[in-house]
Amino acid sequence: MMTDLPQTRGALTPNRPLDALTWLRVGGPADWLFQPADEDDLADFLRGLDPSVPVFPIGVGSNLIVRDGGIRGVVIRLGRGFNGIAVEGDRVTAGAAALDAHVARRAADAGLDLTFLRTIPGSIGGAVRMNAGCYGSYVADHLVEVRAVTRQGERIVLTPDNLRFAYRHAELPEGCVLTEAAFRAAPADPDALHAKMAEQLARRDETQPTKERSAGSTFRNPAGFSSTGRADDVHDLKAWSLIDRAGLRGHSWGGAQMSEKHPNFLLNTGGATAAELEALGELVRRRVLEDSGHELQWEVIRVGDPLPQPQDD
């Protein structure tokens, strides 16, 4: 583990277990966990860090499997200095650590429609990275620009053209850390927006295992878009439908299980390892390919090293 790191005003913790920082509650330690005090602290740290040291930004770990051997390098997790939300006119600016649900509610209070964010688990930084969306709306439809700090410690502003959004994807420079995002939203009645979000939450709780330990949708839809919520929505090329058709609803591997309620949700039923979760996901991918010819792509991000396998004597 490297020990010659730049001075920082934030928290810098060596050999930090990451399981408690992910929704699936799995994962080994990071060599270092850095929680910067503010953007200046982040930029100074990255500028002074040995260029050969890898960095990996995480949000609230809602869409993440950290492998059991942990992550080599520096994991960067933004906190209170990066969770502000401000509204000016039709523009909503949110720190990368602000929760998607909080941004949706704050916008609704101001009579601005970012309701699609309400049921998306995680923080704004992750939402931008994944071009998160539901009910037919995506981050790409509303984003004006993002602020970020590069691996070299330079502050930059990126527009949607720079990010080259696609389904569940945005292009970012390697090691780049998003710090803030600005959205433009249409005006609407605040009471109507809050009622709409309450309806979305009820629908989500009815169809998804929201009280279980999961990381949200496990695989991208081969259809190339999220559920729209409309009555004419089709499900033939939705990941959950293909998994169900392959007979894998509720299938388990150790402490990992594909949800009975929504088969595209990978669950830690208690005591699962990252290896078990990933192994079950790969089994699902193989079986779906055999059954339907569709090769599911992971939506959950998997990072880090597996535990070394024991050597035979």
Residues serving a catalytic function are 168, 217, 299
Name 198's Cβ contacts closer than 8 Å, sequence gap at least 6: none
Q: How far apart are CA 205 and CA 196, in angstroms?
A: 14
Q: How far apart are CA 293 and CA 285, in angstroms?
A: 10
Amino acid residing at 304: G
DSSP E strands in the chain: the ranges are 11-17, 29-35, 55-58, 64-66, 71-77, 85-88, 91-95, 112-113, 133-134, 137-138, 143-149, 155-158, 177-184, 186-187, 214-217, 252-253, 256-258, 265-268, 301-303
115 alpha carbon, distance to own chain's centre: 18
Name 307's Cβ contacts closer than 8 Å, sequence gap at least 6: 28, 67, 68, 69, 275
